[in-house]
């Protein structure tokens, strides 16, 4: 009996000692002090950035900086050699995420001269076995609507998206990355056939489990993609139906830990290196399972949270980052989350189908007084594609107002490929329904993407189907864009006269029914400065307006 007691005591002692050497978290953030002895150089960006990413920086006048350089490889090699497997890395934060519970090993790593700090991130997830379904829903034309956009027509037309699409700006050639928790069944849904048949799914990666299979875990990302990339005319068409997509799984749907933020930043860096133009993230972080990781409202300054820090760096690289504001508007938290608080992020609130605020849409401002959210789109009764049949369904949340908006951002980017991300965001805010009096509820309001498109042209005039005229308040320098909307076929004639009523320009054209005709008047740089009259004749009915040439 005495021997048994001693044996049990020894077993208990060893168990306690084992627990003492194990950390409760299996993923840890290791931050480095520097990038010394790196083999990479800012003079050779082609070694770590794609040609498309380099071209984006050249187009936008963005310099290659030290934070673009990959982490010093020898630092990673030494830590891995000690027995800590690599989970993810971030060159912008000069950090890696490692997988271990061994406190002794963590202490050993922390003593390395190039290690600045180590912090817990959360739980490690093993790779799940892929499960692909073979059957595919059949097309059912009885579900079709008269409208080309199907039941998604309201969420698109609310933003003036149908007008922008009519000009051929549907996101073609624009690369979009979606960060989410999973993309169940995307490969088998008819609304995405156009993406696959036209090779517009550019790549996938699971930053949670470390493989490339993302068609698991959640249908949340599937719904997000439907808002943007679906193309099933008369059933559902998204806001960027011709864009190209990367699908990145960054969210661990089994728990809330800061590793998700690290995954988010790693995905953003990968998107940047690929040359992605637009990112949609219908994700947000405030509270975590380990409450010591949770944020307080005063920390939502756009500079504190891991994801917000990464977002601001990503935005400085020229990426248009669109993020949901959050669904805490009538909850205890009340405010937006991260990375929606980041200054470089276009944060999206939610409205009802009639354009009024959805009660769940999270409020601003940020604790440092910045307007957030930035703008809003339909997030109440948002139309998404049904998972298991050829149909649509409706859902709620800024998770869906965000991709509705992001798709339009991609379409606008196609229209103005040489504009910087800041110029595009400014134009979107300026076109908002309450841009003259932005508030902490809906920011600058519901934008009109056709007007945003116009504001980035040199000068433009719109004549709508009622004969009413709108114009951008810009002096004319070299080119004038004239847009004439007609519900019925019409003969158009545009003429320009100087102050002596001498004709300087004339052009006659025809429009089809329900068409917006664009007439470009070039060569105005050769006109003397002064006042000119523009005469627009629609089926011989004249409209006059004054033009000031600078």
Q: Based on the domain organization, do 218 and 343 belong to the same domain?
A: yes
* CATH number for the domain that contains residue 10: 3.30.70.80
Give the model's pLDDT for residue 6: 52
Which one, of 235, 274, 41, lies nearest residue 140 by Cα? 235
Q: Are 397 and 525 contained in the same domain? A: no
Q: Are residues 209 and 350 in the same domain?
A: yes
Select from 455, 472, 487 the last residue of a domain: 455
For residues 107 and 243, state if they share a domain.
Answer: no
Average pLDDT score over residue span 263-292: 97
Q: What CATH number does the domain containing 448 carry?
A: 3.40.50.200
Residue 128 domain flag = no
> What is the rounded CA–CA span in Å between residue 420 and residue 395?
33
The pLDDT of 261-286, averaged and rounded, is 98
Residues in the chain: 550
pTM listed for this prediction: 0.90
pLDDT of the residue at 512: 85
Helix (H, G, I), strand (E, B), or coil: what is residue 543? strand
Same domain flag for 147 and 98: no
Residue 490 has pLDDT above 70, yes or no: yes
Q: Is residue 133 part of a domain?
A: no
Q: Which two tokens stand for residue 455?
A: 């504001």
412, 414, 418, 423: CA torsion to nearest 10: 10
Q: Residue 515 — pLDDT band, cuts 50, 70, 90? A: confident
Catalytically active residues are 180, 220, 399
Residues 117 and 193 in one domain: no
Does residue 1 register a pLDDT over 70?
Answer: no
In angstroms, the Cα distances linking 375 to 155, 368, 442 are 14, 19, 6
Q: Which whole number is the average pLDDT over 126-133?
A: 84
The more confident residue out of 51 and 514 is: 51
Q: Tell me what percent of the residues of the chain surpass a pLDDT of 70.
A: 96
How many structural domains is the chain composed of? 3
Domain with 444, as residue range(s), is 143-455
Assess if residue 50 is contained within a domain: no
**CA atoms of 112 and 538, how far apart (whole Å):** 77
The model's pLDDT over 319-377, given as tens digits with 9 standing for 90+, comes to 999 999 999 999 999 999 999 999 999 999 999 999 999 999 999 999 999 999 999 99
Cis status, amide bond into 449, omega within 30 of 0: no
Q: Cα dihedral angle (36, 42, 48, 54), rounded to 10 degrees?
A: 160
Place of tokens 């030290």: 66
d(CA 347, CA 325): 5
Query: Is residue 77 in a domain?
Result: yes
DSSP string, 469-490: EEE-S--BSS-EEEEEEESS-E
Residue 132 lies in a domain: no
CA nearest to 307, candidates 326, 330, 334, 328:
326
Residue 278 reports pLDDT greater than 60: yes
pLDDT at 18: 47
Are the C-beta atoms of 496 and 521 separated by less than 8 Å? yes
What is the reported pLDDT for 135? 87
Judge if 466 and 449 occupy the same domain.
no
Q: 480: domain CATH number? A: 2.60.40.2550
- The gap from C-alpha 37 to its chain's centroid, in whole angstroms, comes to 35
Distance CA 165, CA 260 (A): 35
Question: Which of 245-276 are b and which e, b meaning 16 or more Cβ less than 10 Å from the residue's Cβ?
Answer: bbbbbbbbbeebbbbbbbbbbbbbbbbbbbbb
Report residue 537 as tokens.
Answer: 């004749």
Q: What is the DSSP string of 225-292?
A: HHHHH-EETTTEE-SSTT-EEEEEE---TT---THHHHHHHHHHHHHHHHT--EEEE---BS--SSGG
pLDDT of residue 473: 66
Q: Does residue 488 carry a pLDDT above 50? A: yes
Q: What is the C-alpha separation between 502 and 489, in angstroms, rounded? A: 29
Q: Are residues 451 and 491 in the same domain?
A: no
Establish if 58 belongs to a structural domain: no
Half-sphere exposure of 163 (CA within 13 A, CB side): 20
Q: Report cis status (omega within 30 of 0) of the bond before 339.
A: yes
In terms of domains, do 477 and 378 share one?
no
The answer to whether residue 270 sits within a structural domain is yes
Q: In what order do the strands lie in the sheet with 490-497?
A: 503-511, 490-497, 530-538, 541-549
Q: Please tell me whether residues 115 and 148 are part of one structural domain.
A: no
The rounded distance, in Å, linking the Cα atoms of 531 and 497 is 9
Q: Are residues 205 and 265 in the same domain?
A: yes
The 10 Å CB-count burial string (b at 16+, else e) for 56-85 is bbeeeebebeeebbbbbeebbeebeeeebe
Q: How confident is the model at residue 457 (pLDDT cuts 50, 70, 90)?
A: confident
SS3 content of the chain, % helix, strand, coil (to 5): 30, 25, 45
Q: What is the pLDDT of residue 86?
A: 97
Q: Is residue 271 part of a domain?
A: yes
Instruction: Please say which residue of 88, 122, 156 terminates a domain.
Output: 122
Distance CA 188, CA 163 (A): 30
Q: 485: pLDDT confidence band, cut at 50, 70 and 90?
A: confident
Q: Are residues 416 and 534 in the same domain?
A: no
- Single residue among 403, 433, 455 that ends a domain in this structure: 455
How confident is the prediction for the chain on average, in pLDDT?
92
Mean pLDDT of 509-518: 84
């Amino acid at each position: 009996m005495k021997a048994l007691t001693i044996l049990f005591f020894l077993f208990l002692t060893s168990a306690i000692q084992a627990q003492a050497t194990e950390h409760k978290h299996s993923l840890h953030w290791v931050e480095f002090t520097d990038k010394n002895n790196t083999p990479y150089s800012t003079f050779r960006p082609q070694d770590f950035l794609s040609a498309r990413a380099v071209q984006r920086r050249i187009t936008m006048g963005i310099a290659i900086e030290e934070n673009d350089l990959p982490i010093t490889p020898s630092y990673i090699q030494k830590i891995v050699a000690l027995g800590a497997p690599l989970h993810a890395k971030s060159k912008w934060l000069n950090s890696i995420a490692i997988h271990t519970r061994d406190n002794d090993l963590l202490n050993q790593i922390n003593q390395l001269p190039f290690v600045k700090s180590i912090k817990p991130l959360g739980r490690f997830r093993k790779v799940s076995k892929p499960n692909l379904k073979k059957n595919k829903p059949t097309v059912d034309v009885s579900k079709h609507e008269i409208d080309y956009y199907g039941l998604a027509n309201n969420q698109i037309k609310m933003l003036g998206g149908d007008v922008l699409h009519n000009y051929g700006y549907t996101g073609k050639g624009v690369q979009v990355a979606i960060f989410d928790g999973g993309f169940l069944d995307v490969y088998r849904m008819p609304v995405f056939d156009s993406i696959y048949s036209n090779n517009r799914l550019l790549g996938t990666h699971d930053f949670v489990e470390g493989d490339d299979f993302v068609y698991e875990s959640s249908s949340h990302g599937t719904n997000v993609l439907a808002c943007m990339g679906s193309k099933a005319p008369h059933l559902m068409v998204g806001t960027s139906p011709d864009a190209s997509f990367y699908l990145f799984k960054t969210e661990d749907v089994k728990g809330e830990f800061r590793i998700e933020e690290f995954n988010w930043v790693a995905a953003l860096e990968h998107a940047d290196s690929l040359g992605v133009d637009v990112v949609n993230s219908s994700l947000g972080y405030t509270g975590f399972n380990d409450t010591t990781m949770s944020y307080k409202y005063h920390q939502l300054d756009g500079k504190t949270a891991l994801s917000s820090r990464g977002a601001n760096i990503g935005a400085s690289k020229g990426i248009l980052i669109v993020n949901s504001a959050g669904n805490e508007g009538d909850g205890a938290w009340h405010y937006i989350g991260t990375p929606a608080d980041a200054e470089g992020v276009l944060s999206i609130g939610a409205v009802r189908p009639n354009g009024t605020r959805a009660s769940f849409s999270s409020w601003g401002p940020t604790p440092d007084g910045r307007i957030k959210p930035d703008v809003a789109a339909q997030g109440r009764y948002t139309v998404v594609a049904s998972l298991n049949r050829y149909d649509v369904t409706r859902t709620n949340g800024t998770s869906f107002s965000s991709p509705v908006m992001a798709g339009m951002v991609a379409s606008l980017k196609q229209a103005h490929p040489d504009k910087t991300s800041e110029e595009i965001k400014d134009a979107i805010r300026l076109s908002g329904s309450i841009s003259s009096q932005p508030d902490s509820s809906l920011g600058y309001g519901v934008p009109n993407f056709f007007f945003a498109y116009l504001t980035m042209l040199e000068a433009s005039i719109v004549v709508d189907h009622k004969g009413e005229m709108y114009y951008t308040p810009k002096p004319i320098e070299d080119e004038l864009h004239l847009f004439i909307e007609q519900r019925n076929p019409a003969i158009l004639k545009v003429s320009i006269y100087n102050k002596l009523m001498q004709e300087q320009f004339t052009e006659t054209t025809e429009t089809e029914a329900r068409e917006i005709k664009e007439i470009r008047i070039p060569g105005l740089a050769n006109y003397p400065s002064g006042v000119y009259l523009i005469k627009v004749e629609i089926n011989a009915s004249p409209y006059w307006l004054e033009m000031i040439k600078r």
